[in-house]
């Protein structure tokens, strides 16, 4: 996979198993805090990964102890001096990176190995699936620095994941949510002894399924969160299912089932 060969200043990218790529935020001395370089690299990497037809799952994690401590406060001091529209540019630069990661064709699993705070919390929420390590902790720290939790998709994603009342509590208090509570709330799918190993176990199950089926499942889940009616959501589903019956993977799956062998998907 060509994309994996490139090097980045703030990210480590590795194909750990065929079709499974890990992206590690790599500023451990700053608890993997986000910088403009990181936002640019994230967006470019997401674009590049999305061209890779062999890619099936991306796992996102942090180097060393933290997942991501949010926007680097060393840079945050400059934010009030940017000017109102300069700040809007800054905000859009960050939002672009998270949107590019979230909208990749393949599932994105966040392996939350440690603290996910502020923008790091937003980043974890942008994934399709979250696996927490025992040391994972989450907070919407925004209100602690004079900003709101309307940041990088938190107000949209958190509400949908845990409901409006829990989202309100987490956002208005800015308190820490530990791994066990996060699992109870459904904020993470599971707590594993090792977040990356847990994410990898899920990824390995995903890659046994048809690439087209997984892709259109992801697209349907995301798009139908935003679709205005049940009928419109079903229309979108119907088109996808009808389309997938035209791919060679569905007959292959049925043949494999009859012949009691694992299917070999082409993803075409």
In the complex, the residues that contact other proteins under the rule CB under 8 A are 53, 83-86, 88, 105, 211-212, 215-216, 228, 243-244, 246-248, 266-268
Burial code of 175-201, b = ≥16 C-beta within 10 A, e = fewer?
eebebeebbebebbbbbbeebbebbbe
Which is nearer to other proteins, 190 or 227 (by Cβ)?
227
Say which residue the tokens 């176990």 belong to.
201
Which is nearer to other proteins, 74 or 255 (by Cβ)?
255
Q: How far is the CB of 208 from other proteins (least distance, A)?
A: 17
The C-alpha torsion from 42 through 21 and 7 to 39, rounded to 10°, is 10
Q: How far is the CB of 268 from other proteins (least distance, A)?
A: 3
Which is nearer to other proteins, 195 or 216 (by Cβ)?
216
Q: How far is the CB of 243 from other proteins (least distance, A)?
A: 6
Q: How far is the CB of 105 from other proteins (least distance, A)?
A: 7
The answer to whether 112 touches 188, Cβ cutoff 8 Å, is yes
177-178 and 137-139 strand pairing: antiparallel
Which is nearer to other proteins, 173 or 266 (by Cβ)?
266
CA distance 154 to 126: 9
Q: How far is the CB of 13 from other proteins (least distance, A)?
A: 21
Q: How far is the CB of 77 from other proteins (least distance, A)?
A: 18
Which is nearer to other proteins, 30 or 40 (by Cβ)?
40
Helices assigned H by DSSP within the chain: 2-5, 36-50, 73-76, 84-102, 119-126, 154-162, 164-173, 179-185, 195-206, 211-226, 230-244, 249-258
Which is nearer to other proteins, 18 or 86 (by Cβ)?
86
231-237 long-range contacts (CB < 8 A, ≥24 apart) are none
């Amino acid at each position: 996979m060509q994309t994996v060969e490139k090097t980045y200043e703030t990210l480590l990218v590795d194909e750990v198993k065929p079709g499974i790529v890990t992206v590690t935020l790599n500023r451990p001395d700053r608890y993997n805090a986000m910088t403009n370089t990181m936002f640019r690299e994230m967006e470019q990497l997401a674009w590049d990964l999305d061209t890779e037809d062999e890619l099936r799952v991306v796992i996102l994690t942090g180097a060393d102890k933290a997942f991501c401590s949010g926007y680097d406060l060393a840079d945050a001091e400059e934010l009030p001096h940017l000017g109102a529209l300069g700040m809007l540019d800054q905000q859009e630069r960050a939002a672009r990176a998270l949107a590019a990661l979230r909208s990749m064709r393949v599932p994105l699993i966040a392996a939350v190995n440690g603290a996910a705070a502020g923008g790091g919390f937003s980043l974890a929420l942008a994934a399709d699936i979250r696996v927490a390590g025992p040391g994972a902790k989450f907070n919407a720290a925004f209100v602690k620095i004079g900003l709101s939790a309307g940041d990088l998709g938190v107000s949209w994603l958190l509400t949908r994941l845990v409901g409006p009342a829990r989202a309100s509590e987490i956002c208005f208090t800015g308190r820490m949510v530990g791994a066990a509570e996060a699992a109870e709330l459904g904020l993470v799918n599971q707590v594993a002894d090792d977040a990356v190993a847990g994410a990898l176990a899920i990824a390995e199950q995903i890659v046994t399924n048809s690439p087209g089926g997984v892709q259109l499942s992801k697209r349907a889940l995301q798009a139908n969160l935003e679709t205005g009616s049940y009928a419109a959501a079903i229309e979108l589903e119907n088109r996808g299912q009808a389309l997938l019956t035209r791919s060679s993977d569905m007959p292959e799956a049925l043949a494999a089932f009859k012949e009691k062998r694992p299917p070999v998907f082409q993803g075409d």
